[in-house]
Chain A
Amino acid sequence: MSAELRGVDAGLGTGLGAKPPARRAWKRFLSDRPLVVLGAVLVVLVLATAAIQPRYLSLPGLRNTLLLAAPLGIIAAGQTILMLTRGIDLSVAMTATAAAYVAGNQSPNGAGIAIVLALVVGCVTGAVNGVGVGVFRVNPLIMTLAMAGILLGLFTQWAQTVLQGSTSVAPFIKTIGAGAFLDRRIPWNLLIWGAVAFVVIWGLRRTGLGRMLYGVGDNPVAVRLAGVRSWQVLLAAYTISGLFAALGGILLAGQSGAVDLRLAQNLLLPSVAAAVIGGTSIFGGVGTYSGTILGALILSVLNAMLTFLNAGQAVKQVVYGMIVLALAWLYAAATRAE
């Protein structure tokens, strides 16, 4: 698609040598160290927010942002992994909601059972997506959109029948979702996010599956000829995404204390946006989870800033869309093949 268009224009366009050296150096820096630039954007946003609301630059203020960023960051981890394989998961929000709903419903049986069952819901949903995409070669967009519709239908119905009853979550889930330790300084969910981040970053770099995720997205044909069963890689990737979505959903349920069927719906597009801002390519094979983490943080700070500005939902959506577009444009301009 536009990847090829890019190639043609780069070949036939005017020579890049005509550009002033300063601009080239800037571009070189940006494309070599995208994380530094993202970090700078994050710092500027934090300072701008502090300029609007001085109290933001304090421990509670920053802690709240991290608290809200963690579920988004965890859900976006699955999204990043799938985008590496040229996939996408548009069912993450519904999967998270479904998992949270099960967690709420099973809370009277104890937090352990509730969490395990919620994670099972995520894994099953992800595995079904994986079978559809990996084995039957259904387009990921269609497969996961349809899955979101199916889940919404099922759970709307089940909410009145088999899953009737408790909609508030167990105290333990509330603690890991909203509580903090070390004199209420560090949120528990940040610890979970940290663990997820370690596993994902290490896994993508150091394990066979991690390398294969990049391979399947970078060059599916070469990977197939090398003897990789890509359907197994895809099945694993979608199951992991479902699992992370469920984990994010549980933390979200802990934050709000109660579950409903719209719990995570506002996290779908941000989860994609976080990965995109972080430099993960929708065409597969390129990206890191470190970038996604910064993307999730940037989006959360932005959200805090807009809240301080008393912006309504409408303004938030417009600004949000503009920022995603602007950062994606900046990124594309910087990393364009020379």
Chain B
Amino acid sequence: MTVAVAARAPAGIRHWLARYGWTVGVWLLLFLLIGWYATLIPSFGSFTIASIAKNSLPTVFLAIAQAVAVIAGGIDLGAGAMMVLANSVSARFMEGQAAGTTAVIAVGILAGAAILNGLVGWIIVRSRVPDIIVTLATLFVFSGVALMVLPAPGGGTSGGFRWIFTGSTSGIGTNFWPSLVALAVPTVLVALWLRRTSRGLSLYAVGSDPDAAYLSGVKTARAKITAYAVAGAFAALAGLAITAITATGDPRFTNASNGTLNSVAAVVLGGIALTGGVGSVVGAVAAGVILFVLYPILTAMSIDPNTAQVIRGVLIVAVMMAAGLLELRRRRTE
């Protein structure tokens, strides 16, 4: 994508493009898609913006969760299950409660998820079982616990809680600012934390080369556990967002596995290498929104949902193949 330009550009720009090119490209693609979507539907107004902003929240939060784990050299296949667990627990206990109580419950769930997934990180560090195996196990365990808490779809929440994520106490409306704030604030916070604090940078260090990080005095175990704790909190945030949007909890296993699938796809499309240590949360966020926006776009083109799923899968593979070919060419020319 940027290879031809980079060859002739001065070193500074080339470096900048190599580092941020993919992220910028993903954001451009997102705006292109939204622009295209605007021409497809009869009226593009605040209702549409609100709808896109709030409905992409779960995918985006889960993408951030996965991004943090992957940057630190791991992968959290249990992220989707953590989302479902938070969704089920919140819907079960928030039903019929006042706004203040639901907020307290939400904070409790976030803290609990961070501790629980931090424990998962500890198990990974301590047992030295590969991340993918441990989190595969947590995918089972967490979704099982979700089913115990809430055996069938149901539950509820307060209007105030729904407003925080959707901008309306009924979940449907034209006020898009709360959703955008809910989208932007956690993204900016975690991006700054990763790039500007020593604890955040230690995640990149562990992800790119654990031996070198260890020998340079980075507390590798602590970095990994922190990464999983943050990932757990963001996965739970995704679950809370679902509770706010739908006002129900849905403990079914397919939600968990689909959530994990989408989050891994978003992370890779967002330019984060699954080998760890490379990429930024900002790219994953755009990729998360793209993955969501494809559905309304394909619906607007009156393509049925099953074909839409096929097209989405083919697009993911096509992008990854293109990236693979670019990588091969780059390696040959160097």
| Chain A contacts to B: CB under 8 angstroms | 1-2, 4-9, 12, 88, 132, 136-139, 141-143, 145-150, 152-154, 156-157, 265, 269, 272-273, 276, 281-283, 312-318, 320-322, 324-325, 328-329, 331-333, 336
Contact, CB under 8 Å: A138 / B275: no
Contact, CB under 8 Å: B138 / A321: yes
Contact, CB under 8 Å: B133 / A324: yes
Contact, CB under 8 Å: B144 / A314: yes
- Given that A138-B321, A149-B312, A154-B310 are known contacts, is A324 also in contact with B210, CB under 8 Å in the complex? no
Contact, CB under 8 Å: B137 / A157: no
Distance A138 CA – B139 CA, assembled complex (angstroms): 24
Contact, CB under 8 Å: A5 / B307: no
Q: Provide 20 A-B residue pairs closer than 8 Å at the C-beta atoms, listed in order of the A residue.
A: A1-B275, A2-B131, A4-B209, A132-B317, A136-B325, A138-B321, A142-B317, A143-B320, A148-B261, A150-B314, A150-B317, A153-B308, A154-B306, A314-B151, A324-B137, A324-B140, A325-B133, A325-B137, A328-B129, A332-B127
Contact, CB under 8 Å: B211 / A4: yes
Contact, CB under 8 Å: B140 / A321: yes
CB of A325, distance to nearest CB on chain B (Å)? 4
CB of A225, distance to nearest CB on chain B (Å)? 15
Contact, CB under 8 Å: B130 / A325: no
Interface positions of B from 24 to 47, Cβ below 8 Å from A = none
Nearest B residue to A150 via CB reads B313
Contact, CB under 8 Å: B147 / A325: no
CB of B216, distance to nearest CB on chain A (Å)? 12
CB of B67, distance to nearest CB on chain A (Å)? 15
Contact, CB under 8 Å: B148 / A153: no
Contact, CB under 8 Å: A5 / B211: yes
CB of B210, distance to nearest CB on chain A (Å)? 4
CB-CB under 8 A from B310, the residues of chain A are: 149-150, 153-154, 157
CB of A192, distance to nearest CB on chain B (Å)? 27
- Given that A149-B313, A283-B130, A332-B128 are known contacts, is A317 also in contact with B147, CB under 8 Å in the complex? yes
Interface positions of B from 102 to 157, Cβ below 8 Å from A = 123-124, 127-134, 136-141, 143-148, 151
CB of A329, distance to nearest CB on chain B (Å)? 4
Give per-residue flags for B204-232: 1 if the beta carbon is below 8 A from chain A beta carbons, else 0: 00000111001100001000000000000
Nearest A residue to B120 via CB reads A325
CB-CB under 8 A from B215, the residues of chain A are: 8
B283 at interface, CB cutoff 8 A: no
B309 at interface, CB cutoff 8 A: yes
CB of B204, distance to nearest CB on chain A (Å)? 14
Distance A312 CA – B149 CA, assembled complex (angstroms): 13
Point out the residue from B123, B136, B144, B308 that lies within 8 Å of A324, measured CB to CB: B136
5 closest Cβ pairs, A-B complex: A317-B144, A321-B140, A153-B309, A314-B147, A321-B141
Nearest B residue to A272 via CB reads B136
Point out the residue from B141, B148, B209, B264 that lies within 8 Å of A145, measured CB to CB: B264
| Chain B contacts to A: CB under 8 angstroms | 73-75, 123-124, 127-134, 136-141, 143-148, 151, 209-211, 214-215, 220, 253-254, 261, 264-265, 268, 274-276, 304, 306-310, 312-314, 316-317, 320-321, 324-325, 327-328
CB of B327, distance to nearest CB on chain A (Å)? 7
- Given that A2-B73, A150-B313 are known contacts, is A321 also in contact with B127, CB under 8 Å in the complex? no
Contact, CB under 8 Å: B136 / A269: yes
CB of A280, distance to nearest CB on chain B (Å)? 11
CB-CB under 8 A from A331, the residues of chain B are: 129
CB-CB under 8 A from A322, the residues of chain B are: 137, 141
Contact, CB under 8 Å: A314 / B308: no
CB-CB under 8 A from A333, the residues of chain B are: 127
CB of B321, distance to nearest CB on chain A (Å)? 4
CB-CB under 8 A from B123, the residues of chain A are: 325, 329
- Given that A1-B74, A324-B137 are known contacts, is A138 also in contact with B320, CB under 8 Å in the complex? yes
CB of B87, distance to nearest CB on chain A (Å)? 15
Contact, CB under 8 Å: A8 / B210: yes
Distance A318 CA – B251 CA, assembled complex (angstroms): 14
Point out the residue from B261, B304, B324 that lies within 8 Å of A149, measured CB to CB: B261
Contact, CB under 8 Å: A1 / B210: yes
Distance A141 CA – B70 CA, assembled complex (angstroms): 13
CB-CB under 8 A from B253, the residues of chain A are: 317
Contact, CB under 8 Å: B73 / A1: yes
CB-CB under 8 A from B276, the residues of chain A are: 1
Distance A157 CA – B311 CA, assembled complex (angstroms): 13
Distance A66 CA – B8 CA, assembled complex (angstroms): 65
Distance A282 CA – B320 CA, assembled complex (angstroms): 22
Contact, CB under 8 Å: B144 / A325: no
Contact, CB under 8 Å: A328 / B140: no
Nearest A residue to B130 via CB reads A282
CB-CB under 8 A from A154, the residues of chain B are: 306, 310
Distance A146 CA – B327 CA, assembled complex (angstroms): 20
- Given that A138-B321, A142-B265 are known contacts, is A325 also in contact with B129, CB under 8 Å in the complex? yes
Point out the residue from B73, B306, B325 that lies within 8 Å of A153, measured CB to CB: B306
- Given A314-B145, A328-B129, A332-B129, 17 more contacts at CB 8 Å? A1-B276, A5-B220, A8-B211, A9-B128, A136-B321, A137-B324, A137-B327, A139-B320, A145-B264, A146-B313, A146-B316, A150-B310, A156-B309, A282-B133, A315-B144, A318-B144, A331-B129
CB of B265, distance to nearest CB on chain A (Å)? 7
Distance A142 CA – B312 CA, assembled complex (angstroms): 13
Distance A329 CA – B120 CA, assembled complex (angstroms): 13
